[in-house]
Structure 1
């Protein structure tokens, strides 16, 4: 028999899917049967990675796509598995991550009319009115497989949506009867184009942008995720160097500009103060950014000229969003920056003004570097996240991969890890915690020869479902270093409460019901579930050796290492 399930798996192979991150259920007999057949007969099929938790599976696909740019397949069980994807769906959507999610559905016959008809009680309970509606608000595309005769076309269309700008998750579902359908073998012609071509600046828009850039005295770039494409980083560096334009990262998701470059001015998160460079800029180029500034506390000068280039300038998934921009351009950043640089090749740049701008921003860069050097010194009170990040940076090397889910320490980790290579540091791009563990597995699959280090708060570590993460890491040989920033509980809710009620009751109490006391054995969980090297680190004196041993264990022994680092309490 050649079935719809066979066609579906073949479609995944044709789409370049390397892995199926699977959490199977009673709705997948056709799929399981074909995967077993493919294994027995040597037929092409992506290997299956068993994911005991759906959120971990989707986070792993998320991490793999961040390194490779390629969507993987995540298979879950009816509406229960769809819901169990939980916040990972939010992260994939907000982070613009291509991924194909496939869920089965309860059978739609009950008398044995078709192969796959209902034969278990659960299939009545799990039949819901609008399964696709559970995630429709987060998907770029969703559809139902009703027959195997066009399943390959549906997969191809879904993957085209997933990979075309702005990329994102897509969702397919299919009932058992549809996936068991016997059909003639399906062969599709090779697609002329796998994705929609990246957008470019119009000739008129390019003229306006270049004229304003050349006229500016204090031009500044604000970006968050231009680094998702390394080619864009190279073009941005070229543009900034030739114009003497500073770069400020706002809530960065990637390494967007080398941190050691004299035009790099740092990264801004929730800090409740005005950024000096942003206030002084007379032209701000917002480039691939969801939150370029927080207007209550930090904004450009009202007279500054603002231009916005973005893969998603309308922010269609955000009901409230606007900046006062003179020009708004839907364009791929690498393409747009290359256009601007090509035009500037033909222009004359005022060299005296260029020297002055470079000196001005170079001075701000040097002031920041001096401040960070002071922050990274060891503290008599214990280990600070600043010191930890600086010491890790010395041992990791420039090509290691860092997953930053430090929450209230996001900015500290970006500052003191000071990455210089595109594709060397990542956040989820979303706001649902627990991405880091599964994503580390996906990144190690994508880059097996690189060190992978996941850094999370203690709350984010618990959200990551560490028992599932470290079991998977052991089974699929994806060792990584996990560093838990143990500050005794959820710090972010306290910051949020004090931000709104600085002098209220919350400011006067230590107990806001957000502490983790007694503390879980964070490292012990990973050791029990995945045989990980586990260590608690409490003093400055032992930190360097603990980091070195953790890296050695992952490199030489091929198993995870978890460092439960007790931070100085503030």
Structure 2
């Protein structure tokens, strides 16, 4: 750690050598972040960041270490990219934003990081409080009055694992260490730090901390007797079912679950998976449809999952045994939440699965043949029927999914955010390699195209393919996304599922009013302009290659050409025009 960077003290720490300038708090934060293994700082800078800009220069000039600075034109890109990076690296990344307005611009990406349980350290400035000019960093612009909010930390407070203000420069390294420790302890999540401009400018003389004293808390295991109880229950069941969403954040856990399922004979269902939780081609994988087999299984193990089924749609058998093993078993950050379980454990799922796998297999493997037969029948029953081939060489979601599957290789990483196409796409792709698939753990749209940047930076050899709905693409501020991807060498192939509007509100409406006026009139106020050319936004912002395809016969050739472009180091965006979801033309009078 280079302690001579970013120096411009306004006062000396007690006992400091007058000939040795001390680093500012901003510089100390940067060098400490590098020592902690933070790879990137995704940032949109403002008037509260002069100390950081000076520190960037001083550290570079002195050959010191700091994370890579990734400038993002919009904060949605910044935190979403940090989110994507952490999903792959499992290390918190840093996001540096501007006072209250920059924090507000993080928007739904804060929700996504919290619900996705990914570690992130968000650092925001505070307006300077001093006005006389005697302290470095005092107020110099009118916005230092208008941006001085009274409760800035409350903007996203309910989504943060911890919020804190750096009030003394010499404590900045310890505050950062505690931030990373909290963010990285399971269940992981974002933390929020603030500091006034004057504090970042102050000298931060303090002894270096031992990193060994600030480790994340190790995940728990469950007592041996409980492991035996769960194992016995699985072996004695006739129709056991595992339902999971985010087990695969640890790739090894997906492999262990696959082996345990094979050994005992357990059906595995992934619901809105955020990772590959079990290889999609596993012989006991029963698909991705929520509510599947819930009313048939005589044992359900909820395993790292938020919403295992929809209570209004299906219920477990009255005699079913229900168990819940989760890194976040109580979901304390959510409002009302409850799914019944006779035993609930908050523990490290990988460790517990390994405990189960380490137990000896009972003689004659009781009931396994019957369980495997049930799973085989369930797989056949749950297979998705083919969609009818559209007329006039049009494209449906199945055709698009099959074309995408022909692109997949051992380097492919799929980033997915097309909510209403989830079931069809996942059933078609059946991603099997742990670490080859990522999706948003929250519901803040616009995540995927930006998360792809972080995933590519964390895994430079990956061929990142982003599958995104037209609405999610627009919410992602693509003018920011592709500028960052081009600037920092993180090309992606983006495939836009353009069905002419936002399908999710239509689906929600029909779930509540299946035979209502909206269905009769085909008017949902969700359609978009037919003249919009979404891929051209990326071309204008950063020179990405833009494609548009409306005919199934041209789909494969277009996607292959786009992938070759990405392999050459340039992002490509393919806007695929699928069957429209409504005939309504916004702005026009009803027919």
Give the TM-score taking structure 2 as reference length: 0.92
Match of 1:75 in 2: 96
Cα displacement string for residues 351-402 of structure 1 (whole angstroms, at most 9, x for unaligned residues)? 3621221122123324545x46x34x85436211122112211222144111
Q: Secondary structure at the match of 2:407?
A: helix
Match of 1:91 in 2: 112
Cα displacement string for residues 298-348 of structure 1 (whole angstroms, at most 9, x for unaligned residues)? 2321210000000000010122111110100001110010111112x2x41
For structure 2, list consecutive stretches of 5 or more residues without a partner in the other structure: 1-6, 8-22, 582-591
| Equivalent in 548, 567, 570 of residue 578 of structure 2 | 567
Match of 2:448 in 1: 436
Q: Does 1:354 align with 2:368?
A: yes
Cα displacement string for residues 16-46 of structure 1 (whole angstroms, at most 9, x for unaligned residues)? 0111111010001111111111112211111
Query: 1:350 deviation in Å?
Result: 4.0
Distance of 1:446 and 1:366 partners within structure 2: 38
- Residue pair 1:396, 1:451 contacting (<8 A) in 2 also: no
Match of 2:509 in 1: 497
What are the within-5 Å matches in structure 2 for residues 207-222 of structure 1? Answer: 207-222=228-243
Q: Secondary structure at the match of 1:9?
A: helix
Check 1:106–1:349 CA distance in 2 against 1; reply closer, same or farther (3 A cut). farther
Q: Does 1:180 align with 2:201?
A: yes
Match of 1:331 in 2: 347
Runs of 4+ off more than 6 Å: none
Distance of 1:318 and 1:190 partners within structure 2: 32
- Residue pair 2:236, 2:367 contacting (<8 A) in 1 also: no
Q: Does 1:300 align with 2:316?
A: yes
- Residue pair 1:254, 1:426 contacting (<8 A) in 2 also: yes
Distance of 1:31 and 1:89 partners within structure 2: 23
Distance of 1:569 and 1:514 partners within structure 2: 11
Q: Does 1:44 align with 2:55?
A: no
Tell me whether 515-524 or 70-79 shows the greater mean CA deviation: 515-524
Match of 1:340 in 2: 356
Distance of 1:257 and 1:561 partners within structure 2: 30
- Residue pair 2:44, 2:72 contacting (<8 A) in 1 also: yes
- Residue pair 2:297, 2:320 contacting (<8 A) in 1 also: yes
| Equivalent in 75, 92, 115 of residue 136 of structure 2 | 115
Query: 1:521 deviation in Å?
Result: 1.1
| Equivalent in 291, 305, 313 of residue 329 of structure 2 | 313
Q: Does 1:515 align with 2:536?
A: no
Match of 1:385 in 2: 397
Cα displacement string for residues 223-266 of structure 1 (whole angstroms, at most 9, x for unaligned residues)? 11111111111111111111111101122211111111110000
Match of 1:426 in 2: 438
- Residue pair 2:238, 2:371 contacting (<8 A) in 1 also: yes
Q: Secondary structure at the match of 1:196?
A: coil
- Residue pair 1:223, 1:289 contacting (<8 A) in 2 also: yes
Q: Secondary structure at the match of 2:61?
A: helix
Distance of 2:38 and 2:297 partners within structure 1: 45
Could you say what the CA RMSD is over the residues aligned between the two structures, in angstroms? 1.5
| Equivalent in 374, 378, 398 of residue 364 of structure 1 | 378
Match of 1:284 in 2: 300
For structure 1, list consecutive stretches of 5 or more residues without a partner in the other structure: none
- Residue pair 1:214, 1:349 contacting (<8 A) in 2 also: no
Q: Secondary structure at the match of 2:323?
A: strand
Distance of 1:110 and 1:76 partners within structure 2: 23
| Equivalent in 477, 484, 488 of residue 465 of structure 1 | 477
Q: Secondary structure at the match of 2:287?
A: strand
- Residue pair 2:414, 2:437 contacting (<8 A) in 1 also: yes
Q: Secondary structure at the match of 2:333?
A: coil
Tell me whether 260-269 or 54-63 shows the greater mean CA deviation: 260-269
Check 1:201–1:519 CA distance in 2 against 1; reply closer, same or farther (3 A cut). farther
Distance of 1:4 and 1:164 partners within structure 2: 25
Distance of 1:210 and 1:383 partners within structure 2: 47
- Residue pair 1:219, 1:245 contacting (<8 A) in 2 also: yes
Distance of 2:313 and 2:224 partners within structure 1: 36
Q: Secondary structure at the match of 2:47?
A: coil
- Residue pair 1:60, 1:443 contacting (<8 A) in 2 also: yes
- Residue pair 2:178, 2:214 contacting (<8 A) in 1 also: no
Query: 1:503 deviation in Å?
Result: 1.9
Q: Secondary structure at the match of 2:415?
A: strand
| Equivalent in 415, 421, 445 of residue 409 of structure 1 | 421
Distance of 1:229 and 1:387 partners within structure 2: 32
Distance of 1:186 and 1:25 partners within structure 2: 30
Q: Does 1:55 align with 2:71?
A: no
Q: Secondary structure at the match of 2:573?
A: strand
- Residue pair 1:30, 1:180 contacting (<8 A) in 2 also: yes
- Residue pair 2:468, 2:497 contacting (<8 A) in 1 also: yes
